[in-house]
Structure 1
């Protein structure tokens, strides 16, 4: 059996001032080609199909068209809900998509058997998926009065691990009934402890849990994870993987190659092969003083007629009211566009400390929040716990707001994409 693992498409994302429709369209077409050429039996999307809970119509069209095209080449699809996805949005077409060989698991079920998906080829079961989407705390546990923050974290981590193992036991039981050695794949959309993130990844908190211990995963043959946009192995276990997002969702993601993962099973033994995803939009990040930026722009290996998205981070202690105009002069005669222009973080901090004027748009909500917290004293252990609770609540509120509507981004910008 051959499985393709992908995640974090974020269809409908507004990237500063830019629309990502053409990139996502090119990616889905490329992915269909990979499925055909590599004889893929099933594709798993491990969460965050959409960027917001109310995706624009073109994003829904891309999603639906991909499913139709994938069905035409005889490949099964399993879609998991992520923290950016609306449960109701994914569920509204669930029954219809089931007729196109697509199983949608938008939320955690209280019945573990409902989260075991059979992978089939010519009506023969060739694999089983423990289809775990983004887990919300209320789905797996109820809050107990009098628990400390640490006790709540421990209880929640245990509840998620128990849910994983309940679903795995259902899959194991099903494999025993079939009487053949077929692989069991588990999924997840969460932050595993010890992973490396990127600017575009918003911290998610399952209740008060900021990271899940990889020891809580069941003994599946492969574990396909989503939420972290940087591809990586988890806990030094080759079979536990984040595939990462297929297109760069922030400029710092240009540092590594985007990929999807093809897993081929000989019985239950996996052979794992990352497949590089092409870059569908020219992008470049530049940092330095104005003189250095000018030189870097002149050295760029892009045609002036090519549409190039630029992030420029200026390192200067002076507050330049004409910063945008200065940069635009450097780009005259090109099709290059600055979609993110900001001062370096250290410079912004220095400017604020000197109480000089600074654009609010250059700060993230979290930088503003941190500056406000710095005015308070959190000396005792009790107050430090209170600070953690406040920070967790703030993260949850910001994410909730971002899920309700696509972000509005000014031209001079320091805000991270979600």
Structure 2
């Protein structure tokens, strides 16, 4: 059986004043063509289909159009909810979409059996069993207990998530015995694993609760298709536990990444092969850095990737300590006549200990609550024990706020 593993589309993303509609439309058309070309039996989308819980109408249109187009290829589609997705919004059309060969698992189900799916080959025969696990919110699997420390809450949540995986895997083993077939078992997930390499567009999803899930806590599935981390990678160097990453760069630090979807070939004995398919770059995106002299060269080189119809979206990082009141005008002068569009200018100062308000590279709207606290803590002279105590208190407060909002 052949699967295609993709995730983190973030349909509807608004990127520094720019829509990603054209990129997403081109990607989804390309994806349908890959399914046809490679005779894919089932497509797994491991979370974050949309960028927000209330996506714009064009993003919903792209989603619905893709489902109709994919049905014509003969492949099944499984949609898993991510931390950016609304459980209610994804769930509202699941019954209708089931008639189009699409299974939607927006959140953890009260009846666990609804998360166990039989994936079929194009001829209709069973090809694999899927433990369809979406993003797990703490309230889905855990009841808050009074008096728990931040570390206790992290440990409890990790154990609860691990138990959820194990129970579903046991159901899959029982179903496999009922079918009397040596079917491989596949699992999904939308979470951060220990050692995963993230990017600036990925925000912590278990704020104050679980920071990362150990790979050893997964069940022994033939393949584990993960979402949430935008950089494609194996987890712990393991061939069968993978993030496919986002299909388009969602931040400037992803601009140099090769974006991928993964073809996963399964046999009765388990995993046969994983083949990355490189996603074409539908919108040039570059980040350049240097002093004004170096930037003149870097901007000109970046412009070679652009055209009048499709200019390069540019981040300019200016290095140096000199204050330039006319920086904006100077950068505009460097770009004049070139097929580039500057979306962000950032100062990078050589001397350390910059304040959050004036010298930090990020603006507040780019930072999570955890990141603001971490940067503020770095400015204090504290021993490790005191710093750890403050971090624990901060996590505890965030956890209480998060529980109250839920």
Q: TM-score normalised to the size of structure 1?
A: 0.88
Post-superposition shift, 1:22? 0.3
The count of corresponding residues between Structure 1 and Structure 2 is 398
2:346 counterpart of 1:322: no
Question: Which residue of 265, 276, 279 maps to 1:277?
Answer: 279
Q: Any conservation in 1 of the 2:207–2:395 contact (CA below 8 Å)?
A: no
Post-superposition shift, 1:223? 0.2
Q: Deviations over 1:224-253 (max 9, x none)?
A: 000000011112211000000000111111
Distance 1:147-1:395 versus aligned 2 partners, 3 A rule: closer
Q: Any conservation in 2 of the 1:251–1:285 contact (CA below 8 Å)?
A: yes
Hey, what does 1:414 align to over in structure 2?
Answer: none
CA distance, structure 2, for counterparts of residue 199 and residue 28 of structure 1:
24
Hey, what does 1:46 align to over in structure 2?
Answer: 46
Distance 1:348-1:324 versus aligned 2 partners, 3 A rule: farther
Distance 1:116-1:359 versus aligned 2 partners, 3 A rule: closer
Hey, what does 2:298 align to over in structure 1?
Answer: 296
Q: Any conservation in 2 of the 1:203–1:395 contact (CA below 8 Å)?
A: no
Distance 1:393-1:134 versus aligned 2 partners, 3 A rule: farther
Q: Any conservation in 2 of the 1:205–1:396 contact (CA below 8 Å)?
A: no
Q: Any conservation in 1 of the 2:44–2:77 contact (CA below 8 Å)?
A: yes
2:12 counterpart of 1:9: no
CA distance, structure 1, for counterparts of residue 399 and residue 159 of structure 2:
23
CA distance, structure 2, for counterparts of residue 155 and residue 88 of structure 1:
26
Post-superposition shift, 1:161? 0.6
Distance 1:318-1:28 versus aligned 2 partners, 3 A rule: same
2:229 counterpart of 1:217: no
Post-superposition shift, 1:309? 0.7
Hey, what does 2:312 align to over in structure 1?
Answer: 308
Q: Any conservation in 2 of the 1:137–1:206 contact (CA below 8 Å)?
A: no
CA distance, structure 2, for counterparts of residue 100 and residue 393 of structure 1:
45
CA distance, structure 2, for counterparts of residue 313 and residue 37 of structure 1:
41
Q: Deviations over 1:208-228 (max 9, x none)?
A: 110001111011110000000
Post-superposition shift, 1:183? 1.5
Q: Any conservation in 2 of the 1:315–1:347 contact (CA below 8 Å)?
A: yes
Range that drifts further, 1-10 or 387-396: 387-396
Distance 1:333-1:255 versus aligned 2 partners, 3 A rule: closer
Q: Any conservation in 2 of the 1:304–1:333 contact (CA below 8 Å)?
A: no
Q: TM-score normalised to the size of structure 2?
A: 0.90
Range that drifts further, 264-273 or 218-227: 264-273
Hey, what does 1:89 align to over in structure 2?
Answer: 89
CA distance, structure 2, for counterparts of residue 27 and residue 325 of structure 1:
35
Hey, what does 2:187 align to over in structure 1?
Answer: 186
Hey, what does 2:177 align to over in structure 1?
Answer: 176
2:251 counterpart of 1:250: yes
Secondary structure at the counterpart of residue 32 of structure 2: helix
Hey, what does 2:36 align to over in structure 1?
Answer: 36
Post-superposition shift, 1:385? 3.0
Q: RMSD of aligned C-alpha atoms?
A: 2.7
Distance 1:92-1:372 versus aligned 2 partners, 3 A rule: same
Q: Report runs of 4+ in structure 1 exceeding 3 Å deviation.
A: 346-353, 355-383, 391-398
Q: Any conservation in 2 of the 1:135–1:206 contact (CA below 8 Å)?
A: no
Hey, what does 1:406 align to over in structure 2?
Answer: none
Post-superposition shift, 1:359? 10
Q: Any conservation in 2 of the 1:149–1:385 contact (CA below 8 Å)?
A: no
Specify every segment of 5 or more residues in structure 1 that has no aligned partner in the other structure, as ranges.
402-418
